Chain A
Amino acid sequence: METILGIAVDGVAYGTILFIISVGLSVMLGLMRVVNLAHGAFAMMAGYLASYGMQSLGLPYGLALLAAILLTVIVTLPLERLLYRRIYGGNNELQQVLLTIGLTFVIIAIANYSFGPTVKRIPLPDLLSGSVSLGSKTIPLHRAFVIGLGAATILGLWLLLERTNFGVRLRAAVDNPAMAEALGIRTERLYTAVFALSTGLAALGGVLGAELLPLDPYYAIRYIVLFLAVVAVGGAGSILGSVVAALALGILDTAGRYLVPNFGEFFFSAALILILFRWPNGFFHRRAA
């Protein structure tokens, strides 16, 4: 019972972080058809900025979080103009892999140069470092906070996509870019907006998840496979798919670590292969025109 609850809480919190970081990647892949391997590097960048803001500038947690997200978006937007625009579209996978791996390497080197190779912490405010009792069992408040924010993100994204003009255009462009453009949707601006949204979510996840995915310069490479797995399993461009895939993989990975600690990774990779074999286009494949 203890174990099951532990797996549930840790797995869902972990899955939530995976969702927040991966959903932007998924939408970018669905819309711009670009495999952005630098996505993890953007999450890491925000984590470092938040850590710097709190440790060296003494900012409170909330402010550091917001500042880190804003700064990351501001820093990466020029990259969209200068670099990403050239590799949009699904026909040049190799170029996408190279450019974004190259960018990842550069960010890793800069992170190491500016902050050093050691693990950086984002200290939790007193409000979040306690625990909350849930009947007979207590769960760490940080986990609850993460899960709550994840739920808010899902709700926010749903409202944005289903209830706003932006969402209508975005869905139209994902389903049929050529037709959307012909109808007067300015896809270039849409791409910029989606890139900013994607990076912002990566940044949010990077800061929130620092407890579960520790921040060091190799963060950018270590976890990108995990984020890509969520996108592949969920189906590119599908938010519901990202939710389901992130939670499933998060719980699966956590369960593997709890129950078969020696074979955790093996378990995870094997499950990934089986899932992708059965659903090669992900759980919720959005038919791309």
Chain B
Amino acid sequence: MRGDLMRLPAFLENHRARWGSVLGEPAVLPLMIGAGILGYFLFPEDLGLLTRILTMALYILSLDLVLGYAGIATLGHAALFGAGAYAAGIMAVHIVQDPLLLLLIGTLAGGLVALITGALILHAHGLTLLMLTIAVAQLLQSLANKWRELTGGSDGLSGIDPSPVLGLFRFDLYGRTSYLFALVVLIVAYAIARRIVRSPFGLACRGVKEDPLRIAALGGNPRRYLVVMYTVGGAFAGLAGALTTVTTGIVGLDSLGFTLSAEAVVMLVLGGTGRLYGAIIGTVAFMTIHHILAATDPFHWMLFIGLFLIGIVLFAPGGITAVSEKLAQRLARRGT
């Protein structure tokens, strides 16, 4: 792949210049750490929900790598999340309880499933690719449903009891350890993801997304970039799945479900694709609104999110971050 890259510098430089302003987001990490710590002290009663938001944010981040940076439209991303969740869950029940090791296992499982299925399905485009991603997720879900001895079938896996993190921090009843653990994992993963998307490889993926023919003409192999990025995204999704398993102690069939795949796309687009912090913002916005509205009636929630989605497509195709960036630009211009 290095050989290919040597022939791409002009194209990549062009990209770097174009995306420089978007990628230069120095304040995001400190902001995330600050908001995370603030959340810990402001909402001590809701740490369960906040932990769930953190793990989902990691999952949406992984989808952003696949969809936002490589342009792979998928409605089966839950396959990779669920692979990580189940791998960690099964290992936790039978063999190891160390949380970090479980995360590693989940990451590997997600990456492996993504590598195998990605190599199989990424030659397809458009609707066929959408269908294949859905079919892969359904296949894994029915497998998890039938393989009762291992996965618990429709009851799911429970009784997962991870040992203390690094042998020091026990998972407590109030979910404090879970929350801080998830926060640290998310922040580390975010930093790694940022390095990946800024690397020549990440930029080449953006190139494939925008103009695969041109990348091929320049000597790159578009499909290989897609498969590698899909695998990287799968590893992150698997990590998110394993993190969910460790922090909640249960794994269910819904972790492989179509709803989780579709909701992921909604959350990502809500925040804005192709920006890592867009994934975080979209998740926080979606999960918060969901929490508030679903408390009354699930159908109110569907009406609201439906109208919201239609509105996004009609009035703000770039998602929340694009709107706020535009606003910020306008304000800055007025200020000078």
Contact = CB atoms under 8 A, between A and B. Distances in A.
A270 interface: yes
Interface string A255-283: 00000001101101110110011001110
Given A93-B73, A231-B127, A225 B138 contact: yes
Contacts of A101: 262, 266, 306, 309
A276 B318 CA distance: 32
Contacts of B75: 97
B32 interface: no
Nearest to A33: B126
B73 A97 contact: yes
Interface residues of B, number: 45
A280 B123 contact: yes
B134 interface: yes
Interface stretch (A5-13, A105-113, A163-171, A184-192): A105-113
Contacts of A276: 124, 128, 131-132, 135
Nearest to B143: A266
A37 to B, nearest CB: 9
Contacts of B258: 221, 225
Contacts of A161: none
Interface in A80-109: 83, 86-87, 90, 93-95, 97-99, 101-109
Interface string B103-118: 0000000000000000
A275 B305 CA distance: 35
Contacts of A29: 127
A21 interface: no
A23 B34 CA distance: 53
A278 B202 CA distance: 31
Given A266-B139, A269-B139, A83 B310 contact: yes
Contact of A266 (B127, B136, B142): B142
B224 interface: no
B130 interface: yes
A281 B73 CA distance: 16
B25 to A, nearest CB: 22
B303 A105 contact: yes
B120 A103 contact: no
B273 interface: yes
A94 to B, nearest CB: 6
Contacts of A268: 138
Contacts of B262: 101
A231 B310 CA distance: 24
B130 A35 contact: yes
B58 to A, nearest CB: 21
B195 interface: no
Nearest to A266: B142
Contact of A281 (B128, B265, B300, B308): B128
A282 B131 CA distance: 11
B273 A106 contact: no
B200 interface: no
B302 A105 contact: yes
Nearest to A109: B303
Contacts of B309: 98-99, 101-102, 105
Given A109-B300, A263-B142, A102 B130 contact: no
A102 B67 CA distance: 19
B135 A97 contact: no
Contacts of A97: 73, 75, 130, 265
A95 B308 contact: no
Contacts of B312: 98, 102
Nearest to B147: A266
Nearest to B308: A102
B313 A236 contact: no
Contacts of B300: 109
B334 to A, nearest CB: 30
A22 to B, nearest CB: 12
A263 B314 CA distance: 42
B280 interface: no
B126 A265 contact: no
Contacts of B41: none
Interface in B76-98: none
Interface of A: 29, 35, 83, 86-87, 90, 93-95, 97-99, 101-110, 112-113, 117, 217, 221, 225, 228-229, 231-232, 236, 262-263, 265-266, 268-270, 272-273, 276-277, 280-282
